[in-house]
């Protein structure tokens, strides 16, 4: 049957286009996985359909000549080769178009860089064990990750710029970072000025001075504006949030406030990309990503 030659009234045409615009501008969700054995498998996280990025957390020991240590809480024991089975989960995620990165640091751990040579050594280790130079004998088996995330929270900023430069010099990969919302970040300030980072998920929690609170988004919008105008990145900025009230001491935003107030306030400022959640465990408990993925 031939299609009728219909001309929509202007108002109706706008109503038809509006939902398409919303879909086109929808962002992505990044999530941290690996610090709670009760959060489900890595494949479970990816098969949920809620995430564009999964950050395996954390490499808690590295630098200063130390043997790097991967800590995945109750999931597996890398020292006995018990985490190599994650290789198939990683490949499952990647087959779904989800980017999988290794996150360095975290709130605990024993890490830091003592020199440019030390940074270069860590870059070599990451390349040959997790990235494009993987020989198959790394803690996660033969899987080749999509990149490295910098979640450096100990206030030591020295030589992370060297590490970022050294990693990018080795080949194609994503570099991301998770600074605290007060600008500049005490740990990642110099590194983020290298221009080597693709995405930056800013932690708008556990920092009351720049969070959304009691219906007031002014501090958050101000901090967001400062970040997006001060740091040059190749990709996008993400709003980092706790996935439940139990996930952080402060900074939780009700899903309706996020989609109705906060996201509209920042979407047009800088390179907005979506949201980051801490963490998969808390997201499973609260289904935060499921409640907001339509509108972020």
Q: Supply the residues annotated as catalytic.
A: 153
Buried/exposed code over 205-234 (b: 16+ C-beta within 10 A; e: otherwise): bbbeebbbbeeebebbbebbebbbeebebe
The strand pair at 69-70 and 99-106 is best described as: unpaired
Find, among 262, 165, 248, 176, the residue nearest to 212 by Cα.
262
């Amino acid at each position: 049957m031939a299609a009728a030659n219909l001309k929509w009234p202007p108002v109706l045409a706008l109503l038809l286009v509006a939902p398409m615009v919303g879909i086109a501008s929808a962002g992505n969700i990044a999530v941290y996985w690996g610090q709670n054995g009760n959060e489900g498998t890595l494949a479970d996280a990816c098969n949920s359909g809620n995430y564009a990025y999964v950050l395996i957390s954390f490499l808690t020991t590295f630098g200063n000549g130390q043997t790097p240590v991967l800590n995945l809480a109750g999931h597996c024991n890398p020292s006995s080769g018990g985490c190599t089975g994650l290789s198939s989960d990683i490949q499952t995620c990647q087959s779904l178009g989800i980017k999988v990165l290794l996150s360095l640091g975290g709130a605990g751990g024993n890490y830091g860089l003592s020199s440019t040579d030390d940074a270069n050594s860590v870059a070599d280790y990451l390349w040959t064990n997790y990235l494009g130079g993987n020989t198959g004998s790394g803690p996660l088996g033969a899987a080749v990750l999509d990149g490295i995330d910098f979640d450096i929270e100990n206030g030591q900023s020295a030589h992370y710029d060297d590490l970022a430069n050294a990693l990018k010099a080795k080949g194609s990969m994503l570099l991301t970072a998770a600074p605290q919302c007060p600008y500049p970040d005490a740990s990642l300030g110099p590194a983020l000025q290298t221009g080597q980072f693709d995405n930056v998920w800013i932690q708008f929690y556990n920092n009351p001075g720049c969070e959304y609170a009691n219906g007031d988004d002014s501090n958050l919008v101000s901090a967001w504006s400062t970040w997006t105008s001060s740091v040059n990145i190749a990709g996008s900025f993400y709003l980092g949030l706790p996935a439940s009230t139990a996930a952080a001491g402060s900074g939780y935003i009700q899903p309706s406030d996020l989609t109705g107030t906060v996201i509209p306030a920042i979407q047009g400022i800088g390179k907005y990309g979506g949201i980051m959640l801490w963490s998969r465990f808390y997201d499973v408990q609260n289904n935060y990503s499921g409640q907001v993925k339509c509108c972020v």
